[in-house]
Copies of this chain bind each other. A is one copy, B any other.
Amino acid sequence: MSSQIGKRISVTIFGESHGPAIGMVMDNPPAGLKIDNDYILTQNARRAPGNDPTATPRKEADLPEFLSGIKNGVTTGAPITAIIRNTNTKSVDYDALMRNPRPSHSDYAAYVHYNGHNDISGGGHFSGRLTAPIVTAGSILRLYLKEKDIEIGGHILKIGNAEDMRFDPVNISDDKLIFLSKSNFALLNPDVESEMRAEVEAARMDNDSIGGIVEIAVTGLPAGLGGPMFDGVENIISKAVFGIPAVKGIEFGAGFEFATMRGSKANDQMYYDGGQVLCSSNNCGGITGGITNSMPIVFRVALKPTPSISKPQSTVDLKSGTTTELTIHGRHDPCIVPRALPAIEAVTAIAIANLLSEVAD
């Protein structure tokens, strides 16, 4: 199913960018969970546009309205529904949009998939705006994971040529992840912020955009979570993360660097520390055989530059069947990376919460 994720705790995302509303339904949520609205708002604010110079100045309130599953601030166990009304839904030249798909956008692929019936205004169901309900769903499950002392956090690792330091994968504190989870421009080394912002600003000045990489960590997971082959931790997390627009790659632990590594260097040597099994390195990113191994989960996600740029581009005219030139107007994010980070953390929370429930028997 296209807009749904999770076997045990199932989240369905709905809505179109310029339709009446967007939202999410979470089936089979944990019962008795206390909802911290401030936390949910903080996470939504991190992904909302206009809160950071790197983002488009469009303002979004994005305060979700809960329609079900919560009573007196506590989850009832019945499906939780949250919606956000769309205010910025001015009518657009629908025909023009449909006949001239934007390069590297979902426009043409969606046109074929839906036989031309998809709502393309503002990107429709494919709009980055749909990450708002994803963040809402993820925030609820992050509160659930926090009760089990599981923390998820991440930072911007790279934008253009500006690069942050990496997590020390054997030494990641909950406090650090909690700290990062509050930032609109999360970094391990604050000194690279100006350089990164310069990359974004330079792209903006050129009516262009720029891509990047984020790094995510999960702490507090018990060993033994996941399983072999097709429902392992990497399978479930990667399936979830590719649900965020612009994601084009994911690597766990040493990832692509394994290509040039010898086993003797790559293998994470094991030792006992106060009765606990640990590793002196964490090249496996906390996962061996698809199962958590007591080390923190660490992975990196590649994001492509937003395809909406103001430069003239070549596209097709689906009506006349000819090649033509397209110039996209309007205000767009020159860099989606900072806003994508909380959404990637959110789907990671959905994946982990489902993996946890599989621990049964």
Contact = CB atoms under 8 A, between A and B. Distances in A.
A169 B97 CA distance: 27
Given A103-B279, A113-B224, A232-B243, 5 more contacts: A19-B69, A106-B291, A109-B292, A110-B228, A113-B225
A56 interface: no
Given A79-B3, A228-B78, A67 B19 contact: yes
A15 B68 contact: yes
Contact of A27 (B2, B263, B302, B359): B2
Nearest to A302: B256
23 contacts: A4-B10, A4-B230, A15-B78, A74-B117, A75-B117, A104-B268, A106-B288, A108-B288, A126-B228, A159-B259, A206-B264, A209-B264, A210-B263, A211-B259, A238-B238, A248-B258, A249-B251, A251-B251, A256-B300, A258-B302, A259-B303, A262-B305, A275-B321
A5 B4 CA distance: 12
A332 B252 CA distance: 24
Contact of A253 (B248, B260, B303): B248
B23 A4 contact: no
Interface in A70-116: 71, 74-81, 83, 101, 103-110, 112-116
A50 interface: no
Interface footprint category on A: 35 or more
B103 A269 contact: yes
Copies of this chain held together in the complex:
4
A7 interface: yes
A115 B31 CA distance: 7
Contacts of A245: 289
A239 interface: yes
A288 to B, nearest CB: 5
A249 B239 contact: no
Closest 5 CB pairs of A and B: A106-B289, A249-B251, A112-B224, A2-B227, A360-B360
A307 B211 CA distance: 34
Interface stretch (A37-45, A177-185, A309-317): A309-317
A251 B235 CA distance: 14
A328 B282 CA distance: 21
Given A118-B76, A239-B236, A256 B256 contact: yes
A129 B266 CA distance: 22
A219 interface: no
A104 B262 CA distance: 13
A107 to B, nearest CB: 8
A285 interface: yes
A136 interface: no
Contact of A360 (B8, B228, B256, B322): B8
Contact of A77 (B19, B113, B318, B360): B113
Interface in A189-230: 203, 206, 208-213, 222-230
Contacts of A266: 104, 211, 304-305, 307
